[in-house]
Amino acid sequence: MGRRISDSDSNGKKPCSFCRTMLVVVMFAVVTVMLMAYSGKLHWLEDIPFNNLFGYLIAGAFVLVLGYRFWDEYWRPKQDFSARDARRAEQEKKFDELDAIEANRTPEEALSSDIETEQGPLPEPEVAVTLSNDQENIPDSAPEQLDLLGFEVEKTPK
């Protein structure tokens, strides 16, 4: 059985059984009160100005968020980032040294080292010449031809 989203919070911790039970009870209570209010069985709800309460709730939430943002920007103690900045400076220094070494290499050295890293060590020049001569003796073969669905099409004889 797959996991449900409600099985754990964002930290991966599972909520306690009491909290899960209370969540279900509150959800059913809210639905029950809504059905009773809709059917007219709760006359004491008629005197409550829900539009005003909703407006006050929105205004309170706005003031709360604005106050938090103001506290976070101006009054919250700032964290010390000196250790992080020192590590970044050390890494930048190492990268600058690598860039200087790379800039001093000739293009031939750079090309040969790139080829060596991709294909392994380069063959000796004599071996490379014999390999290129052997490749010239291989007859050209036409690549296979495929139709639109990917099936091979018979080749016409030359």
- Alpha-carbon gap, residue 47 to 14, rounded angstroms: 41
Q: CB of 59 within 8 A of CB of 67?
A: no
Q: Which of 19, 12, 48 shows the shortest CA–CA distance to 33?
A: 48
pTM: 0.32
Long-range contact list for 39-47, CB < 8 A, 24+ apart?
Answer: none
Classify each residue of 69-106 as buried b or exposed e, where b means 16 or more C-beta atoms within 10 Å of its C-beta: eeeeeeeeeeeeeeeeeeeeeeeeeeeeeeeeeeeeee
Q: CB of 45 within 8 A of CB of 37?
A: yes
- Alpha-carbon gap, residue 42 to 33, rounded angstroms: 8
Residue 37: burial class (beta carbons within 10 Å; 0-12, 13-18, 19+): middle
For residue 90, give both structure tokens: 């050390």
pLDDT for the residue numbered 40: 80
- Write the pLDDT tens digit of every residue in 96-128: 998 888 888 777 776 666 665 555 555 555 544
For residue 121, give both structure tokens: 């060590």
Match 């829900």 to its residue by tokens.
Answer: 50
- Write the pLDDT tens digit of every residue in 13-65: 777 888 889 999 999 999 998 888 888 888 877 788 888 999 999 999 999 99
